[in-house]
Structure 1
Amino acid sequence: MVSTSDFPGLATAHSPLGDSVQAQALAELLSIPFLGIVKPKQIRDFSTLLFSDDQGLCLQLTGKGAPGPVRAEFVSGKAGYRREHGGGTGQLIAKAVGLQKTRESIDVVDATAGLGQDAFVLASLGCRVRMFERSPIVHALLSDGLARASLNAACADILQNMTLESGDSREWLAGCEPGSVDVVYLDPMFPHRDKSALVKKEMQVFRQVVGDDADSAGLLEAALSAARYRVVVKRPRKAESLPGPAVTTKIEGKSSRYDVYALKALPSGD
């Protein structure tokens, strides 16, 4: 079966315990082949699979030696650890959004949601987070992860603060009234220039399927127009800031940093 979709090299499949209905529906939605029950390591005709197994939906590179599956996970893994042992408002992302400066609940638009990890942290700290993910592939992964997490008692309350939208956040932000969104958070995919550097398996898979965000500067412009208090942009620690206005302050971590564009003081809530 030859795919005429926008996603060459991608197919859907499932394990014996996976959700065949979900895999078939995604194949139809994305106009990509459905392979049925397969073992990803044995696939040669497709480089990547949207694969349903007993743990949910994942993105899986094929062939021998491929990195493990990438999925949106909130119950266990890093998200679960941060939920149970995180640093509260002392976390860098919380500082960047300004949660130490206010006692009020903040509305955040996560305009580049990805697998939802940052949105989950902010929601766990009381923010109401509206997530946008324009890639239908990543949107499917995130939607599946949220559905699985909603069945977990420890995550259900946090997920009440999270909503997921499809489509291009830049268009949505451009249509907003100026200053109508408390905070806009951006974590655009950036060009990877050092070919010799090892990158996380999530990035290996994402780059193969999603590509870079070439319109980051336009997205920042739309975000600055829509935001009331601030725009926060996550960047690699040594990367240049996005083209546009000067950054108000930078909050640096070991491998990444947050560029903060402060527009107005957050309400104290006292």
Structure 2
Amino acid sequence: MIFVTTSHKPTKEQALKAKQLAQELNLPYIPRRSFRDLLEVVGNDYCYVVESDRIVVKYREGSLFFHPSTAKVRMRNVRKGLKDHLIECLQLKGNEWILDTTFGLGAEAILMAGFLKDGKVVGLEASTPIYIVVREGLKNYRDKEDWVNDAMRRIEILNIDYRKYFANCSDDSFDIVYCDPMFENPVYESSSMNPLRPFAVYDTVTDEDIEEMLRVARKRVVLKAHAFDSLFDRIRVDRITGSRKSQVLYGVIEKK
């Protein structure tokens, strides 16, 4: 059963927010006092829990919630002078508009936005549970590091599949299009990714998708894949860079 509820002893604001979310998603709202064991009611489905400062998706195996995750670690490394392969691929000047076609929990979008003084990241997320959690997180999460808060203000997220979005997207709408599909060879050691897996969209990127990305991009398309995935065997790119340790690769296609 999929439904919306709140944390224990919710405020009036929390209850109202939960009811509004239930109406938005066309799901039942169940007051938390109506049951003792949340997961027993959830069964093999999931529920949205409106807490005081965030929305969490609860399911039998765990919880999905928003956090800047690896963005902060990667930014600290860049500031120490270490290389970040994604940032090098993007070649940012600071005023770019970037389309992130596979937003997920947004760690890489936050990292990218951290280098945009006057630019913006538009993120597309086809999974509704992921979208709801992240939309709320971008709106209400506050970090101790100011650059994270500034970066989140430069991000807009939409609940739509990138193929549908492209259908109404004009040529050269963005400077860069970024695509990070779910790996064919998952890295289960990635604790930040594991809660997302049950809700993620696992579509394969096709040649037709790349054509659309290039149509929409003014400068370049950047793709991400695991070293053992088939993406860069199927899709021709101008250059590939990445980490031997993590086996995460980025491929760049320059707009001709």
* TM-score (norm: length of structure 1): 0.75
User: Residue 184 of structure 1: CA displacement?
Assistant: 0.1
- Paired-residue identity, %: 20
Cα 1:36–1:204, aligned 2, differ >3 Å: closer, same or farther? farther
SS of the residue corresponding to residue 87 of structure 1 reads helix
Cα distance per residue 1:133-182 (max 9 Å; x no partner): 23222221111111113687813322332222333332333433333321
One-letter code aligned to 1:252: G
Which 10-residue stretch deviates more, 237-246 or 179-188? 237-246
Matched, 1:106 2:96: yes
SS of residue in 1 equivalent to 2:58: strand
**CA drift at 1:14:** 1.9
CA contact (8 A) 2:232 2:251 kept: no
1:186 maps to 2:188: no
Read off the aligned partner of 1:34 and give its amino acid letter.
Answer: Y
Preserved CA contact (<8 Å) 2:94 2:115: no
Partner of 1:212 in structure 2? 202
Residue 59 (structure 1) aligns with: 57
Counterpart Cα distance in 1 of 2:174 and 2:42: 46
1:130–1:163 Cα contact (<8 Å) kept = yes
Task: Name stretches of at least 5 consecutive residues in structure 2 with no aligned partner.
Answer: none
The alpha carbon displacement at 1:210 in A equals 3.9
1:170 paired to 2:160: no
The alpha carbon displacement at 1:216 in A equals 5.1
Deviations 1:186-245 (A, max 9, x none): 1123456x8xx8464565544433442256554333112111111011112210116865
Query: Is residue 259 of structure 1 aligned with residue 254 of structure 2?
Result: no
SS in 2 for 1:25: helix
Match of 1:29 among 24, 27, 38: 24
Cα distance in 2 between the residues matched to 1:81 and 1:201? 14
Q: By how many angstroms is 1:16 displaced?
A: 1.7
Which residue in the other structure is 1:267 paired with?
none
**Counterpart position of 1:223:** 213
Letter aligned with residue 171 of structure 1: K
Q: Could you say which residue in structure 2 is the equivalent of 1:237?
A: 227
Residue 207 of structure 2 contacts residue 235 of structure 2 at CA under 8 Å; is this kept in 1? no
Q: Which moved more, 1:103-112 or 1:164-173?
A: 164-173
Query: Which consecutive residues of structure 1, in runs of 5 or more, have no partner in the other structure?
Result: 1-8, 265-270
**Structure 1 residues 159, 209: closer, same or farther in 2, change over 3 A?**
closer
CA displacement, residues 27-68 of structure 1 (integer Å, 9 cap, x when unaligned) = 222233333216544445343222222451122222xxx33x
Instruction: Say how many residue pairs are matched.
Output: 243
| 8 A contact 2:180–2:223 mirrored in 1 | yes
